[in-house]
Structure 1
């Protein structure tokens, strides 16, 4: 599945402020955090400047090169 298909499935429009986040942190094993159910917590404690002014976050785990695995769509709580 490509990103356009994913966005259409979730009915996002150009009026939605959507941020794509590709988790690949040299300080944390984000794949392990995802595997043990802690990636959402890791994501929730990121500073506001990481997610900026957006309504939704599409979250991905970084893979080799430019590839990524989709892990979730989240509505941002202000």
Structure 2
């Protein structure tokens, strides 16, 4: 079962309320997404740490309901 883009955004926003989140369905199949997440919580963190934080926010859905997620993370400018 695929995961809806709105569910991905909701889970990320629950963990990072200040975040700007953009979700794009890459293949139109509800299974392959790209997400851009901008939040102050990433300040001082490496790119790997930022991505791990997003994966943790998805509460174990990566590899299950959510097959592929290309991440672009940053702090506010």
TM-score (norm: length of structure 2): 0.39
Larger Rg: 1
Structure showing greater relative contact order (alpha-carbon pairs closer than 8 Å, 6 or more residues apart)? 2
